[in-house]
Chain A
């Protein structure tokens, strides 16, 4: 336990903004700042001494939590907990319910989940796939001011940004399929989220396939033929090979999950 508390003896500056504007100002260009929202990832890293931040931006009181709806547009604040998403429609609700356990869901946040890459050798960030399939956009702050951009672009240009919220249009139908987890504390080895947008467009995305959640454009292009779509999805991913699942196994299962999601979307038609 001594080792666990040592890191805390260092003088760490803790910034606790009381509003979004204050959070944006405190974040600045993000240099030298460790953002702490739910703490499920950052706090153990500090406790174990893997991370010794000099300045921590604690978002607890920044007013970034909550789900709001404006017509068909849903906006989710960055510090909204995973637990608050559980009752939302597919794919996001069932995807959130599949994250960790009830206690972790009650503190882990949407923003943190979108920033979670690989950890302990396995992909994390389960919500990334569901939000990619929903065609979500991300409002974020940092160098160059506050921007709103599609999540896939945001994730492709990984850079120091403070996520403020994500938003998406309510789909006509949504579906989620995941490999069962051996234990509630395992990250999802592979999950597929699917959405049929109001204009009929099908969007598919996977989490657990690679380090980050990915859209599956080749599978989307063949979505009328679930068998072909499942195989095409293999062109869209660089499959992770880790303790949760081998790349071989993920390659076998990805087409199955794609077929299940497309069948569920078909049922919802």
Chain B
């Protein structure tokens, strides 16, 4: 079976009923989709299939032959974050990080579908995603900011080797 994952063609050999989640994590070594409940209930494994947010734990890989899959790794890079990624960073929208990839991809699909900063609409769009740190307020702040065009895209936030961090950390030693 052949999948396009984050723009690259990948040949996969997992058994046909293997959920996409395990193909990504165990065969292809792509670990942003998290194995949470593995029954469609937590949202942590969410990926984009042809641009549509779906649960990787529910999709038998045989049903996806030829499909175009995007995981968090395909949205942006540390040097060039996607608008939603940048907004999550700027709004402190991650705590332990387990739900973050699913949240970011669902928010990305929401914005691609014309989503607005309206908070009830955002809550509705992210309703299937569980954050066990209960950091929902910051997450919704981040999506609202991204939807309102407030987050800077392509923001570089990781310092290159030998370079000073572009992020000021209060209280950090100079």
- Chain A residues with a Cβ under 8 A of chain B: 1, 4-5, 8-9, 12, 14, 16, 36, 38-40, 43-44, 46-48, 56, 58, 60, 100-104, 106-107, 183-185
Contacts and interface: CB of A to CB of B under 8 A. Distances in A.
Given A102-B125, A185-B128, 11 more contacts: A4-B35, A9-B15, A14-B17, A14-B62, A43-B59, A58-B16, A101-B43, A103-B53, A103-B106, A107-B54, A183-B127
A107 B58 CA distance: 9
B39 A48 contact: yes
B91 interface: no
Contact of B18 (A5, A48, A107): A5
B57 A103 contact: no
Contacts of A12: 15-17
A128 B88 CA distance: 40
B41 A107 contact: no
A58 B15 CA distance: 14
A9 B14 CA distance: 10
Nearest to A59: B63
Instruction: Pick the most buried of B41, B46, B54, B58: most chain A CB atoms within 10 A of its CB.
Output: B58
By secondary structure, the B interface counts as mixed
A185 B41 contact: yes
Interface of B: 14-19, 22, 26, 35, 38-41, 43, 46, 52-55, 57-60, 62-63, 106, 109, 124-125, 127-128
A185 B46 CA distance: 15
B81 to A, nearest CB: 23
Contacts of B52: 106
B36 to A, nearest CB: 11
A119 B62 CA distance: 26
Contact of B54 (A36, A106, A183): A106
B39 A47 contact: yes
A102 B107 CA distance: 12
A184 B128 CA distance: 6
14 contacts: A1-B35, A4-B38, A14-B16, A38-B58, A39-B63, A40-B40, A47-B39, A47-B57, A58-B63, A60-B62, A100-B128, A104-B55, A107-B59, A184-B128
Contacts of B38: 4, 44, 47-48
Contacts of B15: 8-9, 12
B57 A43 contact: yes
Nearest to B59: A39
A117 to B, nearest CB: 17
A1 B22 CA distance: 9
Nearest to B127: A184
Nearest to A101: B128
Contacts of B35: 1, 4
Contacts of A100: 128
B58 A40 contact: yes
Contacts of A16: 62
B58 A39 contact: yes
B100 to A, nearest CB: 16
